[in-house]
Amino acid sequence: MQLIHRRGWGIFEDEEEVYFHLMGEKGEDLGYAKWSNSQVNTISKQEYFYHKYGPYYVEIMNYFQDNITESCRSLDGSVYVSHYQQSDIHKFDSNGNLECIHQEMFDTVYGFAVSGDLIWVAYPTSNTIKCYNLKTYKE
């Protein structure tokens, strides 16, 4: 195992690079970085969010401001975003338009992944991972 950085959070992968937000011990913003070719490089906030949310990152960033979010992109280009530890997941289409907000399905979302018509949601406080169908909204 290799230590990449001691201050990283908000980590995600895009193609063969890993992106993360840097935070100080007292929660202060220290910037953004990516790990590529076995090294860490500082990047801009815009580059970080472009890779996190896709080409229409500005629209999604404006919606969520600088709040901590979990997100993932589906194969059709849709982006799913949730405020960290909230109970709803927002779906944006591939143009950055808010399509819907999935509410009431979830309880304290910590992390999630989309695969086809399924969304997998992690609830570590209850040691549970649940899978929901995005068309029927059933568990």
Q: What is the pLDDT of residues 102-138, one digit of tens each?
A: 776 667 777 888 888 888 888 777 788 889 887 777 7
Q: For residue 120, what are its two tokens? A: 């997998």
CB 87 within 8 A of CB 108: yes
Higher pLDDT, 92 or 134: 92
Query: What pLDDT score was predicted for residue 66?
Result: 65
Residue with tokens 């799913």: 80
Angle, alpha carbons 59-92-14 (nearest 5°): 85
Judged against a pLDDT cut of 90, whether residue 42 lies above it is answered with yes
- pTM of the predicted structure, to 2 decimals: 0.77
The CA distance from 93 to 119, in Å, is: 16
Q: For residues 77 and 55, is the Cβ–Cβ distance under 8 A?
A: no
Lookup result for tokens 């992390």? 111
Tokens of 101: 């907000």
Which tokens belong to 15?
């193609």
- Architecture in CATH of 56-139: Beta Barrel (2.40)
CATH 2.40.10 segments of the chain:
56-139
pLDDT of residue 114: 87
Alpha helices in the chain (DSSP H): 45-53, 57-64
